[in-house]
């Protein structure tokens, strides 16, 4: 199902443009499919070092985001999606760069298997990227909000920070919570993609790829 949605995302690629590329196993399938049409695109911007390396292995040009203008499309997976296409992302720890590339893109195409579609976000622990010296302080603030933060052991992000995975959140107002969490000093960003949700969700089901908008 992950492969099927990754392939379906090729339909959203505009020839001659720079494509934003996400991170994770579904995004990896997308990278492999993108390689089949690498001659038709200008290049890519990657949301992680891992994705940049996979793209380069395929001989696909990877640009620094600062070297290009607005991206036509960003294709990435998710850990959870609501029916409003609000997402939880960051299971792979790349949430900050993912959020930056999503923000810089005209269209965000999310690719996921149907297990990721939920009625209420929050069963998947919400990743929060934190400046290392603020880890304990941010943890206490997250507890005040009703969460149970857990340090992702031994993990350092591409930006040199740590991740707190926050359990026990029932996220009824993702737009508000996203902003609230980003206002905690020491938080770099959090894995809620609600203020800039996906524009299209390609959902893999046993019956084929469903498109939600």
What is the closest distance, in whole angstroms, from the C-beta atom of residue 127 to ligand 5RP in the complex?
7
State how far the Cα of 23 lies from the Cα of 127, in Å rounded to an integer: 15
Least Å distance, CB 76 to ligand 5RP, is 5
CB 40 to ligand 5RP: min, Å: 24
DSSP 170: -
Which CB, 76 or 141, lies closer to ligand 5RP? 76
Residues that bind ligand 5RP (CB under 6 A): 22-27, 76-79, 89-95, 98
Output 80 or 141, the one with its CB closest to ligand 5RP.
80
* Residue 125 to residues 35, 59, 88, 121, 158, Cα–Cα distance (Å): 33, 35, 9, 9, 20
For residue 62, what is the DSSP state? B
Candidates 53, 70, 98, 176; catalytic one: 98
CB nearer ligand 5RP, residue 17 or residue 81 = 81
- 98 catalytic, yes or no? yes
State the burial class of residue 131 (Cβ atoms within 10 Å of its Cβ: 0-12, 13-18, 19+).
middle
What values do phi and psi take at 5, rounded to 5?
Answer: -70, -35
Instruction: Point out the residues that are catalytic.
Output: 98
């Amino acid at each position: 199902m992950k492969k099927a949605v990754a392939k379906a995302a090729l339909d959203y690629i505009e020839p001659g443009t720079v494509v934003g590329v996400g991170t994770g196993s579904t995004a990896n399938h997308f990278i492999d499919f993108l390689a089949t049409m690498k001659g038709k695109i200008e290049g890519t911007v990657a949301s992680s070092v891992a994705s940049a390396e996979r793209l380069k292995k395929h001989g696909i040009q990877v640009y620094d985001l600062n070297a290009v203008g607005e991206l036509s499309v960003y294709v990435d997976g998710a850990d959870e999606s609501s029916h409003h296409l609000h997402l939880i992302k960051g299971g792979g720890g790349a949430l900050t760069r993912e959020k930056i590339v999503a923000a810089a893109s005209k269209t965000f195409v999310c690719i996921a298997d149907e297990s990721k579609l939920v009625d209420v976000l929050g069963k998947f622990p919400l990743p929060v990227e934190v400046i290392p010296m603020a880890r304990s302080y941010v943890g206490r603030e997250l507890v005040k909000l009703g969460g149970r933060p857990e340090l992702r052991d031994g993990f350092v992000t591409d930006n040199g920070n740590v991740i707190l995975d926050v359990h026990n959140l029932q996220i009824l107002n993702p737009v508000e919570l996203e902003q609230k969490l980003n206002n905690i000093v020491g938080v770099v960003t959090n894995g809620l993609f609600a203020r800039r949700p996906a524009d299209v969700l390609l959902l893999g089901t046993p019956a084929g790829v469903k498109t939600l908008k």
